[in-house]
Amino acid sequence: MEILKIENLTFTYPEQEKTVLDSLNLSVQQGELVVLFGETGTGKSTLLNMLKPDLAPHGKKTGTIYYKGKELDQLCERKMASNIGFVIQNPEQQIVTDKVWHELDFGLENLGEDSTVIRRRVGETANFFGIHNWFHKKTTDLSGGQKQLLNLASIMVMEPEVLILDEPTSQLDPIAATNFINILEKLNQNLGLTIIIVEHRLEEILPIASHVALLEKGMISHKQNPKNIGDKLMNMKDGGAHPLIKALATPMQIYHALGYHGESPLTVREGRNFLSNHYHQNLNES
């Protein structure tokens, strides 16, 4: 089932002539985990913000975004708030209350949910994310990783159907970032949550992604299985390799540097298996 559809989306910021998004088209199926990929300044954050109407930037917009077949702009505020969740880069900027428990129930209170429903959902969410042990802590006492986890939990307590994340691990240490991505995998695989994410830790996010969407010149030029995106980047229309090939996971870079085509290994284990099998195959042939 198609949950989000973008048709001919064009956007220009005020007093600017150059379009940031140019007749962009993208379809996202329910349950997909889509990594939005592109060079700096290609409009990734702008596109994500336009998928959450209350975050959409000011400017000239044409085209249409659909959510479950209905125009996104026509959804009621309640549905826009609860059905589409958004996690930003800076954990500090998204937290609005002083205590962990209050942060968790803040969104549900604003939606006017019954107190019984709020208590149940907050309890279930705290247990799911493993934050019940610091339930009564002040939000100012949390680490960066804990704050971002709390931001995610505060969104998930409202039971969204789509989760949008704009480089959510950019300010986290490697361990916290890995834990955060592992939770995203759990949400996608176990709960069927649709996720659209911009993330620079490609070695960790690509193995759990269902698709990678390449954004360049304001358009989605490719939407591929992660194992095939390297092949596309190595064989662009001008005959050369795309600069972003250097941003791919190391096993993918090695695979294509050796001159191979098609589906590439994504993880270190897959890369080691590929090299081992290839090496022994060459020995036998010689």
DSSP 128-190: HHT-GGGTTSBGGGS-HHHHHHHHHHHHHTT--SEEEEESTTTTS-HHHHHHHHHHHHHHHHH
Cα–Cα distances (Å) from 248 to 31, 229, 256, 266, in that order, read 24, 9, 11, 9
Q: Which domain does 53 fall in, by range?
A: 2-224
Domain-located, residue 89:
yes
* Residue 286 binned pLDDT confidence (cut-offs 50, 70, 90): very low
Residue 19, token pair as written in the block: 């379009």
Residue 254 lies in a domain: no
**37 — phi, psi (to 5°)?**
-130, 135
The pTM is what? 0.91
Q: CB-based burial of residue 177 (10 Å sphere; 0-12 exposed, 13-18 middle, 19+ buried)?
A: buried
Quote the CA–CA distance of 165 and 87 in Å, as a whole number. 5
- Of 84, 105, 109, the closest CA to residue 157 belongs to 105
Q: Number of structural domains, the chain? A: 1
Tokens of 165: 């994340």
Residue 238 pLDDT grade (very low, low, confident, very high; cuts 50, 70, 90): low
| 147: in domain | yes
Backbone dihedral angles phi then psi of residue 62, each to the nearest 5 degrees? -130, 160
User: Residue 79 pLDDT more than 60?
Assistant: yes
Question: At 154, which amino acid appears?
Answer: S
pLDDT in tens, 171-216: 999 999 999 999 999 999 999 999 999 998 888 999 999 999 999 8
Q: Percentage of the chain with pLDDT > 90?
A: 60
Q: How many CB atoms lie within 10 A of CB 161?
A: 18
Over 60: is that where the pLDDT of 237 sits?
Answer: no
- 24 within 8 A of 220, measured Cβ to Cβ: yes
Residue 283 has pLDDT above 50, yes or no: no
Return the pLDDT at 121.
94
> What pLDDT shows up at residue 284?
47
In a domain, 245, yes or no: no
Q: For 106-140, how does the pLDDT look when each residue is reduced to its tens digit (9 = 90+)?
A: 999 988 899 999 999 999 999 999 998 898 999 99
State the CATH number of the domain containing residue 112. 3.40.50.300
Chain-centre distance for alpha carbon 59: 24
In a domain, 263, yes or no: no
Residue 32 in domain: yes
- The answer to whether residue 277 sits within a structural domain is no
Residue 138 lies in a domain: yes
Distance CA 168, CA 200 (A): 9
**What pLDDT is stored for residue 281 in this prediction?**
52
Higher per-residue pLDDT: 103 or 280: 103
8 Å CB contact between 85 and 155: yes
User: What average pLDDT does the segment 142-161 reach?
Assistant: 94
The whole-angstrom separation of Cα 51 and Cα 3 is 12
